[in-house]
A and B are shown apart, each in its own frame.
Chain A
């Protein structure tokens, strides 16, 4: 794989340096490898995101106006070490505590927990909400074993908006928990990404096969299925999401009249052309089932280098989640105007 890089072991550091330049004064580089917003008001409940690099533009691209206050950035596909989590925590803290909001992976949980221990030594209050939206990684009764994938984009967007006016860490924690509970994703992969430092693909898959439910690092999901058309695959993916809402006793089944956000994500190599073809079918299926698509996100936002693949995420909105979705936001990863697109 041809990669436009310099020292393979400095990829994460150099991309974060570039990201700071892209932020053009909105955010700054802190400590070893953290990105922090410049104008966090005193007394604000802080929102910290983070995780391994290599999935750009998330997570560190989601720091910004009405979004996260900072991001702790790990190396490529590796959780940030505790000292980076702590440096970011200290930099975003404004005295009202810090909510950690990140994808559920063993390495991230270990390191963010160690970072929270360091923060607690400095009397900074930390709470954690894990994102576990990947319905193919474990049954709904075992959410603690589920991975966090593309659903993080609407979740962080909504939590970031709520954090602007949250009266307490409790309040923001409850809101983020609700956004996670109402968000479900299914991903598929057609070909692997590679690790910049080794140039090796992260997994192998036959030319005529698709990994259904595959994670954003190539972790297996439901299994391999024959290569399908965009329409067939879109139906299968949505069926898995509908089935999960139905099976999960913590939420109601998706029902006619429900309002949702639909996020169609590319894992990297899959083109906007393919995303739009899938989006067309997904929207038709949802309309047929009486689901109201309040707004749509489409693009390569949660990626794995040149991995070819696509994911659908659905977030069911209530009045509170909708209010925070409709706030404007701006960052390198995701920006929107007030209200809903076309609205």
Chain B
């Protein structure tokens, strides 16, 4: 039986589940980044999500938004690298947009993804098609806006599908940002590691809401 909305402590547990999923996926992320970057994305995400677990486990938060801000702060201050600054911005900015309410519905999900994605693009300078995590985020945020009135579990199912499609689409793009940009056309055929991470996080959120 899926969840139509989440309480604050359920939001926390959902992000703890997402953190576990990323830590478990370290070898996949390492391989994805080795193909296009310098191979450190998996270890960086593992470090960031380990810090997220320390920041979240057993803690009470005053609002759903503050859970996401805590996720972003933990990632930004523990990971370093472009990923730390960008994932930190995603969750910190997105969390602030979720607001101070105590329920997390599809409406808050849409706010999280829209503001988070906009700030990631402003900070990092990437736009759709550059073969970055933005290529998973933008379709996810667009889909979230479309399904903002559905129950959360149904909305997350649609959003996770959009993020996965965005990740797959990044395989057909030529990198123009970050360390992969010097590969040019040789970057074709492989997904962006950041887009893979986004799709894993959203899928873990979907699985939590579906249970």
Q: Which A residues lie at the B interface, using CB under 8 A?
A: 9, 52, 74-84, 105-107, 110-111, 114, 137, 145, 195, 197-198, 200-203, 215, 217-221
- Across the two chains, which residue of chain A brings its CB closest to B180? A219
- Across the two chains, which residue of chain B brings its CB closest to A107? B82
Q: 11 interchain pairs (CB within 8 A)?
A: A9-B47, A75-B81, A77-B38, A77-B40, A105-B179, A106-B124, A107-B84, A110-B85, A110-B124, A195-B38, A220-B182
A-side contacts of B186, CB under 8 Å: 220
A177 to chain B, nearest CB (A): 22
Contact A79:B82 (CB < 8 A) given known A137-B182, A145-B181? yes
A-side contacts of B77, CB under 8 Å: 81-83
Task: Say if the beta carbon of B2 comes within 8 Å of chain A.
Answer: no
Contact A107:B42 (CB < 8 A) given known A215-B182, A220-B182? no
A-side contacts of B44, CB under 8 Å: 75, 78
**B interface bracket (residues with beta carbon within 8 Å of A):** 20 to 34
Task: Say if the beta carbon of B57 comes within 8 Å of chain A.
Answer: no
A-side contacts of B43, CB under 8 Å: 9, 76, 195, 197-198
Are A219 and B81 within 8 A (Cβ)? no
Which of B30, B84, B183 lies in contact with A111, CB distance below 8 A? B84
Task: Say if the beta carbon of B3 comes within 8 Å of chain A.
Answer: no
A145 to B175, CA, bound (A): 13
A79 to B124, CA, bound (A): 14
Are A79 and B182 within 8 A (Cβ)? no
Interface residues of B: mostly helix, strand, loop or mixed? helix
Are A110 and B86 within 8 A (Cβ)? yes
Which of B34, B76, B183 lies in contact with A220, CB distance below 8 A? B183
A195 to B30, CA, bound (A): 10
B-side contacts of A79, CB under 8 Å: 80-82, 84-85
Are B179 and A219 within 8 A (Cβ)? yes
- Across the two chains, which residue of chain B brings its CB closest to A77? B40
Q: Quick one: which of A80, A84, A106, A218 has the most chain B CB within 10 A?
A: A106
Are A198 and B80 within 8 A (Cβ)? no
B177 to chain A, nearest CB (A): 7
A-side contacts of B85, CB under 8 Å: 79, 81-82, 107, 110-111, 114
- Across the two chains, which residue of chain B brings its CB closest to A115? B85
Contact A195:B40 (CB < 8 A) given known A9-B47, A52-B81? yes
A201 to B80, CA, bound (A): 21
Task: Say if the beta carbon of B193 comes within 8 Å of chain A.
Answer: no
B-side contacts of A106, CB under 8 Å: 82, 124, 177-179
Are A78 and B76 within 8 A (Cβ)? no
B-side contacts of A198, CB under 8 Å: 30, 39, 42-43
Are A107 and B81 within 8 A (Cβ)? yes
B67 to chain A, nearest CB (A): 20
Q: For chain B residues 71-105, which have a beta carbon within 8 Å of chain A?
A: 76-86, 88
Are B177 and A78 within 8 A (Cβ)? no
Which of B30, B34, B80 lies in contact with A107, CB distance below 8 A? B80
- Across the two chains, which residue of chain A brings its CB closest to B177? A106
Are B30 and A200 within 8 A (Cβ)? yes
A207 to B178, CA, bound (A): 27
Are A75 and B179 within 8 A (Cβ)? no
B172-211 vs A: 1/0 string, CB under 8 Å? 0000011101110010000000000000000000000000
List 7 extra interface pairs beyond A81-B80, A195-B39, A221-B182, CB under 8 A: A77-B38, A83-B77, A106-B124, A107-B85, A137-B182, A203-B38, A220-B183
A-side contacts of B84, CB under 8 Å: 78-79, 81, 107, 111
A301 to B177, CA, bound (A): 28
Which of B34, B42, B86, B177 lies in contact with A202, CB distance below 8 A? B34
A7 to B40, CA, bound (A): 16
A136 to chain B, nearest CB (A): 9
- Across the two chains, which residue of chain A brings its CB closest to B41? A78
- Across the two chains, which residue of chain B brings its CB closest to A138? B182
A221 to chain B, nearest CB (A): 7
